[in-house]
Amino acid sequence: GYTNEVLSCIDLDKIKFIGYAFQIEMKYAARQLGFRLKEIPITFTDRIIGISKMSKGIVKEAIWGVIQLRWMSFAKKANRIPATMKMAPRARD
Protein backbone atom coordinates (compact mmCIF):
# COMPACT_ATOMS: atom_id res chain seq x y z
CA GLY A 1 0.00 0.00 0.00
CA TYR A 2 0.93 3.62 -0.36
CA THR A 3 0.50 6.39 2.19
CA ASN A 4 -1.54 9.48 1.37
CA GLU A 5 1.71 11.46 1.32
CA VAL A 6 3.23 9.27 -1.37
CA LEU A 7 0.07 9.30 -3.49
CA SER A 8 -0.22 13.09 -3.23
CA CYS A 9 3.40 13.53 -4.39
CA ILE A 10 3.26 11.19 -7.40
CA ASP A 11 1.81 12.74 -10.55
CA LEU A 12 -0.60 9.93 -11.33
CA ASP A 13 -1.32 11.40 -14.77
CA LYS A 14 2.27 10.53 -15.72
CA ILE A 15 1.93 6.87 -14.73
CA LYS A 16 1.52 5.18 -18.10
CA PHE A 17 1.52 1.46 -17.38
CA ILE A 18 -1.46 -0.69 -16.44
CA GLY A 19 -1.67 -4.18 -14.99
CA TYR A 20 1.36 -5.50 -13.13
CA ALA A 21 3.69 -2.95 -14.72
CA PHE A 22 1.65 -0.24 -12.96
CA GLN A 23 2.89 -1.53 -9.61
CA ILE A 24 6.50 -1.46 -10.81
CA GLU A 25 6.17 2.10 -12.13
CA MET A 26 4.53 3.31 -8.91
CA LYS A 27 7.40 1.92 -6.84
CA TYR A 28 9.89 3.53 -9.22
CA ALA A 29 8.11 6.91 -8.98
CA ALA A 30 7.98 6.76 -5.17
CA ARG A 31 11.67 5.87 -4.96
CA GLN A 32 12.62 8.69 -7.36
CA LEU A 33 10.84 11.12 -5.02
CA GLY A 34 12.98 9.89 -2.13
CA PHE A 35 10.45 7.72 -0.35
CA ARG A 36 11.60 4.54 1.34
CA LEU A 37 9.96 1.32 0.25
CA LYS A 38 8.90 -1.54 2.46
CA GLU A 39 7.62 -4.76 1.01
CA ILE A 40 4.64 -6.37 2.65
CA PRO A 41 4.30 -10.01 1.58
CA ILE A 42 0.99 -11.26 0.27
CA THR A 43 -0.03 -14.79 -0.61
CA PHE A 44 -1.65 -15.60 -3.93
CA THR A 45 -3.73 -18.74 -4.07
CA ASP A 46 -4.05 -20.79 -7.23
CA ARG A 47 -7.19 -20.13 -9.24
CA ILE A 48 -9.68 -22.95 -8.71
CA ILE A 49 -12.23 -21.96 -11.36
CA GLY A 50 -12.06 -19.72 -14.40
CA ILE A 51 -9.04 -18.78 -16.45
CA SER A 52 -6.06 -16.56 -15.80
CA LYS A 53 -6.35 -12.88 -16.65
CA MET A 54 -2.61 -12.82 -17.38
CA SER A 55 -2.25 -12.23 -21.10
CA LYS A 56 0.85 -12.14 -23.27
CA GLY A 57 0.31 -8.39 -23.57
CA ILE A 58 0.45 -7.92 -19.80
CA VAL A 59 3.65 -9.98 -19.59
CA LYS A 60 5.25 -8.00 -22.44
CA GLU A 61 4.23 -4.70 -20.85
CA ALA A 62 5.78 -5.72 -17.53
CA ILE A 63 9.06 -6.79 -19.13
CA TRP A 64 9.24 -3.79 -21.45
CA GLY A 65 8.22 -1.48 -18.60
CA VAL A 66 11.11 -2.60 -16.41
CA ILE A 67 13.53 -2.07 -19.31
CA GLN A 68 12.13 1.42 -19.97
CA LEU A 69 12.28 2.43 -16.31
CA ARG A 70 15.85 1.19 -16.03
CA TRP A 71 16.83 3.11 -19.16
CA MET A 72 15.20 6.27 -17.76
CA SER A 73 17.12 5.75 -14.53
CA PHE A 74 20.43 5.62 -16.41
CA ALA A 75 19.52 8.74 -18.39
CA LYS A 76 18.67 10.69 -15.23
CA LYS A 77 21.94 9.64 -13.59
CA ALA A 78 23.89 10.82 -16.63
CA ASN A 79 22.22 14.23 -16.37
CA ARG A 80 23.18 14.51 -12.69
CA ILE A 81 26.92 14.12 -13.26
CA PRO A 82 28.63 17.17 -11.72
CA ALA A 83 29.96 19.65 -14.26
CA THR A 84 33.53 19.05 -13.06
CA MET A 85 33.24 15.38 -14.00
CA LYS A 86 31.77 15.92 -17.46
CA MET A 87 34.17 15.88 -20.37
CA ALA A 88 35.53 19.27 -21.27
CA PRO A 89 34.92 20.41 -24.84
CA ARG A 90 37.74 19.56 -27.22
CA ALA A 91 40.05 22.38 -28.11
CA ARG A 92 39.71 23.57 -31.66
CA ASP A 93 42.73 23.19 -33.90
- How do residues 63-79 score in pLDDT, each as one tens digit? 888 888 888 777 666 55
Domain definitions of the chain by residue range: 4-38+54-78
Distance CA 31, CA 27 (A): 6
What gap in Å lies between CA 23 and CA 14, rounded to an integer? 14
H or E stretch covering 68: helix 56-79
Model pLDDT, residue 20: 79
**Tell me: the pLDDT tens digits for 13-39?**
998 888 778 888 899 899 989 999 988
Closest C-alpha among 27, 22, 19, 25 to residue 2: 27
Q: What percent of the chain has pLDDT over 90?
A: 20
> What's the predicted TM-score (pTM) here?
0.62
6 CB-near residues (< 8 Å, 6+ apart): 30, 33, 35
